[in-house]
């Protein structure tokens, strides 16, 4: 059956291996590297087909290279035709700059690419060579991987137990050249394979099409229906009938999903619109804006939180001085933290804003 499935996969993807197509299997040592004055580090993840695991990491700022390859087996020169027989798994080796992207961030991306509840493969690819795993290169990576897995279990993102292995890294062997960046070099075949694999259908169900850091099931359990509709479905709550439109207590407003600090009461004002309005963000780097063309004959500027990607509201150029802007937000996207609780909740850095 496995041979039949493999042949079928090769036919569907148009994968034809020609004599001389291999460029060899260079081994890559799994240690920290130093390139000029930049200290680079490595991470190794297995998540089924390595074609599908390259793109999400290559898009990250701070990632220098993502290499498709084989690891975890007993042979010293695995090739595509025999790597599984020797116990190797398809994996990717990520070379990254820890000053720009952290190992924790790589782990977050990893969980959003796989089905960690499947012990027998990933999506259409069956067999132990396609199972998911985190290969740690240092004790610190091991600790972070275990913590990340435990947090994922506690959050209840998935409806079955997580079985992804956390294993010590073995030698990583670079796969044949035709496997490297396959999604770019053979984009049509890759898209055909990926669409038929079931990977995106699963990930859309768990994480949503935007692949936000919080799972759909998790948020539906944590948020009220209105909070979910506003933050995840770009909804709008009723004017003058929401929690913070007339709140005058000093404090800060954070993202209801992630807790990112967003706006402060010193910049809040009565706009007469019936929604909480601010002249500027408390932490500008936590705010993302983008064009919103959902209204006929009008283009508005949508406001989202950077990390959680929550829809917050819109910003307009009809506000008061000194900025002339009006950040018109939904209370349902926010959580208010009064001054008295800032230190206790980890927002003590903002206390100086409220000292006279």
User: Does residue 242 sit in the same domain as residue 117?
Assistant: no
- Residue 297: which pLDDT band, with cuts at 50, 70 and 90? confident
pLDDT at 34 (0 to 100):
56
DSSP code at position 308: T
User: Does residue 240 sit in the same domain as residue 211?
Assistant: no
The one catalytic residue in 175, 328, 329, 333 is: 328
Give the pLDDT mean for 49-68.
97
On whether residue 39 sits in a domain, the answer given is yes
> What DSSP string describes 57-71?
HHTSTTEEEEEEEEE
Q: What is the pLDDT of residues 85-110, one digit of tens each?
A: 999 999 999 999 999 999 999 999 99
User: Does residue 184 sit in the same domain as residue 102?
Assistant: yes
Q: How many domains does the chain have?
A: 2
User: Does residue 168 sit in the same domain as residue 262?
Assistant: no
Range scoring the smallest mean pLDDT among 81-85, 191-195, 199-203, 296-300: 296-300
Known catalytic residue: 52? no
- Residue 355: which pLDDT band, with cuts at 50, 70 and 90? confident
User: Does residue 177 sit in the same domain as residue 34?
Assistant: yes
Known catalytic residue: 49? yes
Domain span including residue 162 = 25-216
Q: Over the chain, what is the mean pLDDT?
A: 90
CB 157 within 8 A of CB 215: yes
Q: Which contacts of 234-240 are long-range, i.e. CB under 8 A and separated by 24 or more positions?
A: 234/294, 234/302, 234/311, 235/311, 235/330, 235/332, 236/313, 236/330, 237/275, 237/330, 237/331, 237/332, 238/274, 239/273, 239/274, 239/275, 240/274
User: Does residue 198 sit in the same domain as residue 243?
Assistant: no
On whether residue 224 sits in a domain, the answer given is no
Residue 298 has pLDDT above 90, yes or no: no
Dihedral angle sign, alpha carbons of residues 174, 41, 166, 199: negative
User: Does residue 137 sit in the same domain as residue 269?
Assistant: no
Range scoring the smallest mean pLDDT among 30-34, 35-39, 127-131, 331-335: 30-34
Of 190, 216, 242, the residue at which a domain comes to its end is: 216
On whether residue 178 sits in a domain, the answer given is yes
User: Does residue 266 sit in the same domain as residue 179?
Assistant: no
- Residue 295: which pLDDT band, with cuts at 50, 70 and 90? confident
Residue 119 has pLDDT above 80, yes or no: yes
On whether residue 223 sits in a domain, the answer given is no
E-strand ranges in 37-146 read 38-47, 63-71, 89-96, 121-122, 125-126, 132-136
Rounded Cα–Cα distance for residues 47 and 134 (Å): 9
Q: What is the pLDDT of residues 247-287, one digit of tens each?
A: 999 999 999 999 999 999 999 999 999 999 999 999 999 99
User: What's the maximum distance between 2 C-alpha atoms anywhere in the chain?
Assistant: 77
CATH number at residue 124: 3.30.1060.10
User: Does residue 212 sit in the same domain as residue 282?
Assistant: no
On whether residue 15 sits in a domain, the answer given is no
Of 216, 242, 262, the residue at which a domain comes to its end is: 216
User: Does residue 204 sit in the same domain as residue 242?
Assistant: no
pLDDT at 2 (0 to 100):
38
Report the percentage of the chain scoring pLDDT > 70: 90
pLDDT at 37 (0 to 100):
63
User: Does residue 190 sit in the same domain as residue 42?
Assistant: yes
- Bridge-partner residues for 338, per DSSP? 251
The one catalytic residue in 49, 67, 124, 133 is: 49
- Residue 36: which pLDDT band, with cuts at 50, 70 and 90? low
CB 125 within 8 A of CB 165: no
On whether residue 241 sits in a domain, the answer given is yes
Residue 186 has pLDDT above 80, yes or no: yes
Of 181, 216, 251, the residue at which a domain comes to its end is: 216
- Angle (deg, nearest 10), helices 199-207 and 187-197: 60
Q: What is the pLDDT of residues 123-157, one digit of tens each?
A: 999 999 999 999 999 999 999 999 999 999 999 99
Report the percentage of the chain scoring pLDDT > 90: 86
Q: Where is pLDDT greater, at 18 or 307?
A: 307
CATH number at residue 259: 2.170.150.20
Rounded Cα–Cα distance for residues 5 and 291 (Å): 45
User: Does residue 235 sit in the same domain as residue 199?
Assistant: no
Is residue 280 within a helix (H) or strand (E), and if so which, with residue range? none
């Amino acid at each position: 059956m496995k041979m039949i499935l493999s042949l079928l996969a090769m036919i569907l993807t148009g994968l034809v291996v020609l004599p001389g197509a291999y460029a060899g299997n260079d081994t890559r040592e799994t240690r920290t590297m130093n390139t000029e004055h930049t200290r680079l580090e490595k991470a190794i993840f297995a998540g089924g087909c390595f074609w599908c695991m390259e793109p999400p990491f290559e898009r990250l700022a701070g990632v220098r290279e993502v290499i498709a390859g084989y690891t975890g087996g007993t042979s010293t020169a695995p090739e595509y035709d025999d790597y599984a027989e020797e116990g190797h798994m398809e994996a990717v080796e990520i070379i990254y700059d820890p000053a720009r992207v952290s190992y924790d961030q790589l782990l977050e991306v990893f969980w959003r690419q796989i089905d960690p509840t499947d012990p027998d493969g990933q999506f259409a690819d069956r067999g132990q060579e396609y199972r998911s795993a985190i290969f740690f290169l240092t004790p610190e990576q091991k600790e972070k991987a275990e913590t990340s897995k435990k947090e994922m279990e506690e959050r209840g993102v998935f409806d079955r137990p997580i079985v992804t292995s956390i294993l010590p890294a073995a030698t990583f062997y670079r796969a044949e050249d035709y496997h490297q960046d396959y999604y770019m070099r053979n984009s049509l075949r890759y898209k055909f394979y990926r669409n038929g694999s079931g990977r995106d259908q699963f990930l859309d169900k768990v994480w949503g099409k935007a692949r936000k850091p919080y799972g759909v099931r998790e948020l539906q359990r944590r948020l009220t229906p209105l909070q979910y509709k506003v933050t995840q479905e770009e909804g709008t709550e009723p004017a003058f009938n929401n929690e913070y439109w007339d709140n005058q207590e000093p404090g800060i407003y954070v993202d209801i999903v992630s807790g990112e600090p967003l706006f402060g009461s010193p910049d809040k004002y009565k706009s007469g619109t019936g929604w909480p309005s601010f002249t500027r963000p408390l932490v500008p780097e936590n705010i993302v804006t983008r064009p919103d063309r959902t209204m006929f004959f009008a283009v508005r500027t949508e406001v989202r939180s950077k990390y959680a990607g929550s829809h917050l509201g819109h910003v307009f150029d009809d506000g008061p001085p000194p900025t002339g802007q009006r950040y018109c937000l939904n209370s349902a996207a926010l959580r208010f933290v009064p001054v008295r609780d800032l230190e206790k909740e980890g927002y003590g850095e903002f206390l100086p804003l409220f000292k006279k």
